[in-house]
Structure 1
Amino acid sequence: MQSDLLGASVLGIKNILAITGDPPMIGTYPQSSAVFDIDSIGLTNLLTNLNRGLDLGNKPIGDPTAFFIGVGVDPNSINLDKEIQRFYWKVDAGAEFAITQPVFDPVALEQFLEKVKDFRIPFI
């Protein structure tokens, strides 16, 4: 993944949305197997390191990348406290913006935004 990200940087790709994704049984190919070598928090850490000019092993890579790192967050989560904890870890890892899952309940959105108001990154 690191080499793919470095290649993307060389090609001028700057905006990255780091998400873990859904298990394959939910998608179009239910017989495929899941590979979760890295989750969204780990990917955010990797991107942040590359932006600092370091690889996974903290060795210099030369010129740093300039990724703008986004993460996903779900204001509708059944376990909102756990979702907010994971979101905190994503921000701590270097997330610079967040994209929420669709929200159709304004009260739920207000409650969520109140709980994350101190995170200081923009939401889309």
Structure 2
Amino acid sequence: MEQAVPAECEFQNLLQATLEGSPDLSQQALRALQTLLRFKPEAIKLGNAKASPLTTAVRAGNVECTKVLLKARASPNEQDDKGVSPLHLATFDGNPDLCKALLFYRADVDACDRHGQAPLFFAPSKDVCKLLLERRSLM
């Protein structure tokens, strides 16, 4: 008789396959991740001790996985022990598509890390600066 895989292991394996696999494997894993989150929404809270699933996806620069996690209600405003949010990470990497996804799901453009620095402080490109400033002007 086959043993059920704990949700945490299943989720972490799918997340890693989505982020690190070949394009075909990543697409299959992304679909499986969507299915898992549809039937086990609590899996969104599973992560390793170092980072949440959303932070892991943002660090990997994976826009599609980030969108899936945000749609499943991952918080775009979570912060690590240094006060760094997913928007800080996306901004630092200069990834406008990730920034757009996080902002669409209401990431706080003014969230400060433990040094009092908002994401705009880290923006390396004109495109990312423009996105953050436009969002700020809407508030």
* Same-fold call, TM cutoff 0.5: no
Which of the two has greater strand per residue?
A: 1
Query: TM-score under structure 1 normalisation?
Result: 0.37
